[in-house]
Amino acid sequence: MREKYKIAKTYEEVSKSDKFTFSIYFDNELNFLADKFFYTMSGYIRQQGELPKDFLKVENVFREDLNSKFEEGFHTTISELFHKYHISAERIP
């Protein structure tokens, strides 16, 4: 990314913490709470390899897509997300 966008390294990066791509919330009946959805810019960049032109639009499209999928079925959608984003039960706190 630094080379692609000509970004100078201004400090030594030493962070070794776990990162996340998005956060999703559910009510007590496992209904997706779309208004609490949060998508990180770094997660998008990690997945797509580039900066988005309009990140709010990207986030809204992702939110709407998830909302639609969760309406169709919780288990199938969660399984798809786990598979696509390489999430395992061991990584969930």
Domain boundaries, the chain: 2-91
* DSSP annotation string for 8-49: ---S---------SEE--B-TT--B-GGG-EE-HHHHHHHHS
Which residue type sits at 60?
N
Q: Give the per-residue pLDDT at 88.
A: 79
pLDDT digits 0-9 by tens, 16-34: 667 789 999 999 999 999 9
CA distance 30 to 47: 26
Question: Which pLDDT band holds residue 2 (cuts at 50, 70, 90)?
Answer: low
pTM: 0.76
